Amino acid sequence: MAVATAAAMAVVGCGSTPPVPVSTSGGSPGAQSRAAPATNANDSPAAPAVIAGPWLASPIALADSQVAVVSDACAAAARQKLGEVEADLPTAVVDARGGGLFTAVLSDGGVGIDCAGKLAEAGATVDAVDRLAVDAVEPADGSSTAVSELTFVEDASPRTVAFGRVGPDAKGVRLTRTDGEPVTATVGIGWWAAWWPAKTMAVSVDALDGSGAVAGTTKIPPGEVESRLATATWWLDPSKPRPTADALTIDVLVRENACASGKSGADRLDPPAMDFSDTAITIRMDVRRAAGAQDCQGNQPFPFTVELPEQLGNRALLDGSTTPPRDATKPPPDA
């Protein structure tokens, strides 16, 4: 039984995800069922030359078969890196607008992942797949919009990537960059996504109605917005009493694994994900990455109290940040 508690309340540089060597040239039946129709859907496949061509301010209309190829590749990468829950999410949006690049979000409204990679005639290859913070996945109402991610990606194709939520009444989404240039986003099921080849932030996101008029505007604070999660290592706090069998709370120390320039991740901790069995409770801690490029100077652990939905009993406590999970009654070797 998997449980995510609400005990934690909660934006690339160092600590980014390495490429995942997964590709597929055709969508399986499962991929077809995961693929959500987008507002720019096309009956026939977009030409490979267009997908690989110059960047476009408006998205390329992908066929359902091309969306399915991306969905299948993202699901396979998520299964390899994240787990079965993340591998079985429906595809909310796939954005392609040149350079052979795609950005996808897979989400059921409670759990979400973002997936980035390359789409070509031979198939799709995933470069990165990450969990998204719980509050970044929350649905939007009406014609409202929300920004989950606004990040500069510095790789072989430097670019700014943006995506977020949009309400069911909006017919389109448009971003306005700090240089005044508009970018039309791809809109899927409750999500929008876009990217552009420059380190230029956006200042606003407009929801559009059926006539193209602005139905609602979200202002974006200066700087980057981060919703991707990185794992954290945790262990029992040695300064606190050891939990007993009837314990409903556990005092722990949590250490962020991604680079964070020495900043505490206490205010970026996502609700812990818990898995219960007869013999063990496995708890995975995730921390929202710090926004922007970060130095890797080491992270200090911070205290946190885990709230259990049932008594601990005589079960082992395991840190789910590793495979296999680690004995969390002891600090890690490098603590």
What DSSP line would sit under 61-96, residue for residue? --BHHHHHHHHHHHHHHHHHHT-HHHHTPPEEEEEE
pTM of the model: 0.86
The Cα–Cα gap between 64 and 199 comes to 31
pLDDT in tens, 267-323: 999 999 999 999 999 999 999 998 877 888 788 999 999 999 999 999 999 999 999
51 touches 67 (CB < 8 A): no
pLDDT in tens, 154-201: 999 999 999 999 999 999 999 999 999 999 999 999 999 999 999 999
pLDDT at 294: 80
What DSSP line would sit under 302-320, residue for residue? EEEEEEPSS--TT-EEEET
Q: How confident is the model at residue 20 (pLDDT cuts 50, 70, 90)?
A: very low
pLDDT in tens, 197-242: 999 999 999 999 999 999 999 999 999 999 999 999 999 999 999 9
The Cα–Cα gap between 292 and 312 comes to 39
